[in-house]
A and B are shown apart, each in its own frame.
Chain A
């Protein structure tokens, strides 16, 4: 199975900061990577798909990049409503494995 590793596990940043989360795959997944945002008590919400495509309705401050085994999610100017846990997910193989999550907190 493909393993997904995210870093950091937690990050704390101020409103307006640029924030970057990294996700590494144990083998190449081309660009078959999605990012999800999850707030407490809610279902995950798709933010980025195919590594760099922004889902409809998602603010333009969210962007994704990478291919192969290394990927990043960037929030260009952190807003209070971005406080959440973010998960990467590979969909290169049938076992759609998730990373362990990165909790983004507002200072």
Chain B
């Protein structure tokens, strides 16, 4: 069974940093592209970042470019999102999702990041 489990969310002050993790299981992680998607409270879905299976190709939404860094460790079946210079508007549930030819067929349960003083 494909599983994606996010962790690392929590309360952080504006300007602070946080590192999210996504543990993958049930499939060959190193063969798949993955993405981060977020959802602010009561709002819609926002694509955040993408990383190719090897990690050689990376993309970011303009809203996080220069502040967030996506990475992966295929040996550990894990995806990461390093978030720096956090702002109140980064408050959201962060999901990791597996990228398939059909779109995002598998999602984690999400981890909540709250940026507040």
Contact = CB atoms under 8 A, between A and B. Distances in A.
Tell whether A pairs with B: yes
Contacts of A55: 102, 105
A81 interface: no
Contacts of A45: 107
Interface in A27-59: 34, 36, 38, 43-46, 49-50, 53, 55
A100 B45 CA distance: 7
B103 A89 contact: yes
Contacts of A12: none
A96 B36 CA distance: 10
Interface residues of B, number: 18
Contacts of B35: 96
A87 B104 contact: no
B68 interface: no
Interface string B57-90: 0010110000000000000000000000000000
Contacts of A98: 44-47
Contacts of A99: 44
Contacts of A85: 44
B47 A95 contact: yes
B95 interface: yes
Contacts of A101: 44-45
Contact of A53 (B102, B104, B110): B102
Given A43-B110, A96-B35, A96-B50, A91 B103 contact: yes
A43 B47 contact: no
Contacts of B47: 89, 95-98
A43 B108 contact: yes
B109 interface: yes
Interface of B: 35, 44-47, 50, 59, 61-62, 95, 102-105, 107-110
Interface of A: 1, 34, 36, 38, 43-46, 49-50, 53, 55, 85, 87, 89, 91, 94-101
